[in-house]
Amino acid sequence: MIAGLIGTFVVSRIPYGLYRRFHIPVIAYAVSFFVIFLVLTPLGYSANGATRWFKLAGVSVQPAEIAKLGMIVFLAALINKLGARAADRKIFCMALATPLPVCLAVYAVTD
């Protein structure tokens, strides 16, 4: 928990422009989608009857949590880039639909 708080503090101090310059939102989307399928590899394991975890360097992680963070970064950048056009209902709904493949992957892969 302490490591998470420290990580949150460090990430919150990084200027948003740095994320945009390195295309972090697109990378976050791709990593979110990829990490979900780690439960299907030998890294994945079952806990309490559910295969929703993978272990990396001795740390157990739920891929859905990483996917959530990636989608937050991606949607924030997308809505920021859309600017005033995000107020249009059709464009806003399309922006909200972009995480659907990741959400469907979480639903399909984890039991």
What local confidence, expressed as pLDDT, does residue 31 receive? 81
Q: What is the pLDDT of residue 98?
A: 86
| pLDDT attached to residue 8 | 80
- As a whole number of angstroms, the distance between CA 89 and CA 94 comes to 9
Q: Phi and psi (nearest 5°) for 98?
A: -60, -30
Helix (H) or strand (E) holding 46: strand 44-47
pLDDT given for residue 61 in this prediction = 82
Q: What is the pLDDT of residue 111?
A: 62
Instruction: Give the pLDDT score at 1.
Output: 65
Query: Within 13 A of 20's CA, how many CA atoms are on the CB side?
Result: 10
* Residue 37 pLDDT: 81
Q: Look at residue 19 in the predicted model and tell me its pLDDT.
A: 66
Tell me the mean pLDDT per 10 residues along the chain, length 111: 79 75 74 80 80 80 83 84 88 87 83 62
Q: Are 70 and 83 in contact (CB under 8 A)?
A: no
Q: What is the pTM of this model?
A: 0.68
pLDDT in the model for residue 22: 63
Instruction: Work out the angle between the directed axes of helices 24-36 and 63-82 (0-180°, nearest 10).
Output: 150
Distances (CA, A) of 32 to 1, 29, 44, 89, 110: 21, 5, 16, 26, 14
With contact defined as beta carbons under 8 Å apart, do 81 and 75 qualify?
no
Which of helix, strand or coil describes residue 14?
coil
